[in-house]
Amino acid sequence: MKRRIVFVINYFYPDFASTGQLMTTLCLHLQNEFDITVIAAQPDNVEDDLEKRTKLFTKDMLEGVQIIRIRMPAVDKTNKFSRMKYISTYFLLALFVVLRQRRTNIIYTISSPPIIGGLIGTIGKVLKRAKHVYNIQDFNPEQAEAVSFLKQSWVFRVAKWIDNWNCKMADHIVTVGRDMQETLTNRFSGRNGKIPSNTVINNWAEENEIVPLPKEHPNVERFLAANNLKGKFIIMYSGNLGLYYDLENIIQLTSRFKDHPDIAFVFIGDGAVKDRMKQFVLREKIENVLFLPFQPKEYIKYSLNAADVHLVVNQKGIKGVSVPSKIYGVMASGKPILGVLESGSEACRLIVDSNSGVVVEPRDYDGIYAAIMMLYNMGEHHLQAAGLQGRRYLESNLKKEISLEKYRYLLQSL
């Protein structure tokens, strides 16, 4: 009989969130060896499905993976009360579903929503007598502290105490970067010297689907023509336009490029700061900035290849807290990277080790401007060479199959 794993992972197919896509790939990879049930939030785009819009829980299948979807309240990511309502609802409903599952051998949770994801696994482990694997994609409350999400310091202290408890109770912790493993170690330094059992497993890109393509490729050319970008030097950000990337300040740099109509800044995605970014562009009457929605999964390989340079950014204070997953897709597409990242962070190390771009410290806005101008003047041959070095590094060290097999081995060994 196959061992049964219950994945509590918030975002799942067909959701566009990067963690949802990663966890979908992981579950499909494991489905032949394990009996897998996924507990996830209902995606937003179900307006045409009456049952999914009205029922609290619905069941679905993706190949051999059973999915239990939870209908969640709408969330305004710019509103703290709305976020807290969403998180508390998810916690109660997801925990209820976990406790109703029969014959659970392993509970696999991720650190989303913050703290709550791990706490569901901790409670489920105790009450279901199961193993708990805690995948930390982002450390909280450190991430929230970095952007001053709340002013009440006691909330952060309580949250860290709970999450440390989650870590100590977990049978194994997976972090997604070497700097994050260092954060885990530092959390437990001086605590009887007992660091929880843990492994670093990098996130990944679909490197067999996302491959370097020239701008002359018909689908890349179609993307450029549809968005009036042909002949432009394109600096692209593709991903979550959220609170943890300092994008509301970085967007202000675009005003310095008003006299460069051949440079285009393209922001693809959605998130809490998108409206503020758009308002700045409208207020300043900047014409060479374009905002686009998330691209369909099957089309991402073309949109990524439309760029000359990709932005991979994090807010100051995020080192050791989070790794921007977008870097793997950018490296797979063979495009050079402008990293706005703290020295020693995982994404910074990847860019430096692969020699695939330039790195500037967060909030060094003059440095970011200078780096853009340097890349703009570098020449197509040198840009292509830098991007392809990133692709070669990914093929040697960061293939999807490497990470998926690490997960399979870990889950078999528990």
256 found inside a domain: yes
Residues 6 or more apart in contact with residue 372 via CB below 8 angstroms: 235, 253, 257, 263, 309, 338
Same domain for 48 and 174, yes or no, is: yes
Q: Residue 236: enclosing H or E segment and its boundaries? A: strand 233-238
Closest by CA to 213, choosing from 300, 291, 96, is: 300
144 to 79, 115, 136, 173, 367: CA distances (angstroms): 14, 11, 15, 21, 26
CB-based contacts of 346-350 (< 8 A; 24+ apart in sequence): 346/176, 346/177, 346/178, 346/179, 346/180, 347/177, 347/312, 347/314, 347/323, 349/178, 349/179, 350/393, 350/398
For the chain, what is the largest distance between any 2 Cα atoms, rounded to a whole number of angstroms?
Answer: 67
Are the CB atoms for 140 and 163 separated by under 8 Å?
yes
Number of domains in the chain: 2
Same domain for 181 and 47, yes or no, is: yes
74 found inside a domain: yes
Same domain for 54 and 172, yes or no, is: yes
Residue 54 belongs to what domain range?
3-204+399-413
Are the CB atoms for 393 and 385 separated by under 8 Å?
no
Q: What is the pLDDT of residue 156?
A: 80
The rounded distance, in Å, linking the Cα atoms of 137 and 144 is: 14
Same domain for 175 and 279, yes or no, is: no
**Token pair 């562009």 in the structure block, residue:** 281
374 found inside a domain: yes
Tokens matching residue 43: 């995606």
211 found inside a domain: no
109 found inside a domain: yes
Residues 6 or more apart in contact with residue 386 via CB below 8 angstroms: 336, 355, 356, 357
pTM of the model: 0.91
Closest by CA to 406, choosing from 192, 118, 176, is: 176
Same domain for 225 and 150, yes or no, is: no
Same domain for 38 and 98, yes or no, is: yes
Per-residue pLDDT of the chain (414 residues; tens, 9 = 90+): 899 999 999 899 988 788 999 999 999 999 999 999 999 999 876 555 656 667 899 999 999 999 999 998 887 766 778 888 888 999 999 999 999 999 999 999 999 888 999 999 999 999 999 999 999 999 988 888 876 665 677 788 898 999 999 999 999 999 999 999 999 999 998 755 688 999 999 999 999 999 999 999 999 999 999 999 999 999 999 999 988 899 999 999 999 999 999 999 999 999 989 999 999 999 999 999 999 999 988 899 999 999 999 999 999 999 999 999 999 999 999 999 999 999 999 999 999 999 999 999 999 999 999 999 999 999 899 999 999 999 999 999 999 999 999 999 999 999
Q: What is the pLDDT of residue 141?
A: 86
Displacement of CA 143 from its chain's centroid (Å)? 13
Are the CB atoms for 125 and 131 separated by under 8 Å?
yes
CATH number at residue 196: 3.40.50.2000
171 found inside a domain: yes
Same domain for 199 and 293, yes or no, is: no
213 found inside a domain: no
Same domain for 260 and 289, yes or no, is: yes
Same domain for 227 and 300, yes or no, is: yes
19 found inside a domain: yes
Q: Residue 354: enclosing H or E segment and its boundaries? A: helix 346-354
Same domain for 23 and 172, yes or no, is: yes
The secondary structure of residue 146, as a DSSP letter, is: H
In the three-class reduction of DSSP (H, G, I as helix; E, B as strand; rest coil), residue 262 is classed as: coil
Supply φ then ψ for residue 236, to 5 degrees.
Answer: -115, 140
Q: What is the DSSP string of 72-86?
A: -----TT-HHHHHHH
332 to 15, 376, 391: CA distances (angstroms): 21, 21, 5
Same domain for 292 and 325, yes or no, is: yes
Same domain for 406 and 290, yes or no, is: no
